[in-house]
Structure 1
Amino acid sequence: MKVIAVNIARPTVINWRGKEVKTGIYKLPVPDPIVLEAEDVKGDTVVDRKYHGGKDKACYLFSADHYPYWKNLYPDLDWNWGMFGENITVQGLDEADIRIGDVMKIGSAVVQVSQPRQPCFKLGIRFGDQKVLKHFITHAFPGAYLRVLSRGTVAAGDPVTILERDPRQLSLKNIFELLYRPRNGQTIQKAIIHPHLAESCRKDLGKALSRIS
């Protein structure tokens, strides 16, 4: 894997159902390296820390490999890296292979995979179409939230190296499917007790389990 772009956002105020809402979804590539810190990316906009930022979701990683699919669906958008709100756009990310708990080195930072991205209405606002949420769930290539184990800098062109593979073998794709297409209660229970799964995702899996119990 390799970093294609690093992206940050200035705060943007949008109108949502008659109310003004501030968001950091409008990320754009920056020429200088970004700094991954314990709870966010230095200089980035994180507004609603209930769903973004914090130690379990300090940074969001998305694959450049998926952009052609989305450009075909939304050809009239003004496309740039960072369209999905990702801090780091990478080449070669495979959600079926990358596991919860995997430890990676990106630039000089050391990070750990904590959960797949769960889309919210702000992605719909970014795309000008709330139906993008259904497309995102159906396509099932959500990217990865990361916790930062060792602060460091990341720049376009940096390699992404897997340092440790988690032995529990629960991939990002596995977790995403359990969240949105829960069928196997035993597998959900296995995921819930994973020590490296983000706490908010653990709670959402508990809700998914209750729907099929």
Structure 2
Amino acid sequence: MKIIATNIGEKRDVEWKGKTVSTGIFKFPVEEPIFLDTEDVRGDAICNRENHGGILQAIYGYSLKHYDFFKPYYPDLDWQLGIFGENLTIDDLDETKIHSGDTFKVGDAILEATVQRNPCYKLGIRFNDIKIVKQFWNTTMCGVYFKVLQTGFVKAGDVFEQIKACPENPTIADLYVAKRIAKGI
């Protein structure tokens, strides 16, 4: 696997159902390397620390291949890397094959897969269409949150190499499906 883009965003206030909400979901590729720190990407806005960032959700990775699934639903959308709110756009990240605990070396950093990303209304804000949230839930293309075991810089073009496998643990897709069932979706 390979890093296609590294993405960060600034805090943005948007109107949602008559209220102003803050979000960091508007992420865009950057040319310079990004620093993966223990609880987040340095310089990336996280506006909801309850559901994003922190030790277990420090870095969010999403597969470029998943873009092709969603593009036909939104042909008029300005498709840019980072649109799903991911820090790392990875060429072929497969949630059905990555287990919680699997470990990866990328750039100077070492990452451990932890949990799935559960979509919220802010993904709908990013897509300017709330339907994306249900469409996202109805797949296993949720992306992967990573814990940072070794901090370091990562850049586009870096190899995303698995260095430890934990096949005894559930896959990220298994965790996502279980969460969807628990939520009654």
Q: What's the TM-score once normalised by structure 2's chain length?
A: 0.96
Q: How far does the alpha carbon of each residue in 1:62-106 deviate from its partner, in whole angstroms, 9 at most, with x for none?
A: 000111111111011111000000000001111110000111111
Quote how far apart the aligned CAs of 1:167 are: 4.0
Counterpart of 1:180? 180
Q: Secondary structure at the match of 1:162?
A: strand
Q: Distance in 2 between matches of 1:50 and 1:153?
A: 25
Counterpart of 2:9? 9
Quote how far apart the aligned CAs of 1:169 are: 3.4
Quote how far apart the aligned CAs of 1:139 are: 2.0
Quote how far apart the aligned CAs of 1:43 are: 0.3
Code of the aligned partner of 1:180: R
Counterpart of 1:90? 90
Aligned 1:1-213 pairs, distance under 5 A: 1-181=1-181, 208=182
Q: Secondary structure at the match of 1:42?
A: coil
C-alpha RMSD of the superposition: 1.2
Q: Distance in 2 between matches of 1:47 and 1:174?
A: 27
Q: Runs of 4 or more off by more than 4 Å in structure 1?
A: none
Q: Secondary structure at the match of 1:169?
A: coil
Counterpart of 1:198? none
Unaligned runs of 5+ in 1: 182-207
Quote how far apart the aligned CAs of 1:140 are: 1.8
Unaligned runs of 5+ in 2: none
Q: Distance in 2 between matches of 1:151 and 1:87?
A: 14
Q: Distance in 2 between matches of 1:138 and 1:167?
A: 24
Which protein is richer in helix relative to its size? 1
What fraction of aligned residue pairs are identical, expressed as a percent? Answer: 43
Q: How far does the alpha carbon of each residue in 1:19-48 deviate from its partner, in whole angstroms, 9 at most, with x for none?
A: 111110000000001000000000000111
Q: Secondary structure at the match of 1:111?
A: strand
Code of the aligned partner of 1:99: H
- Which of the pair has more CA radius of gyration? 1
Q: Distance in 2 between matches of 1:170 and 1:108?
A: 27
Q: Secondary structure at the match of 1:61?
A: strand
Which protein is richer in strand relative to its size? 2
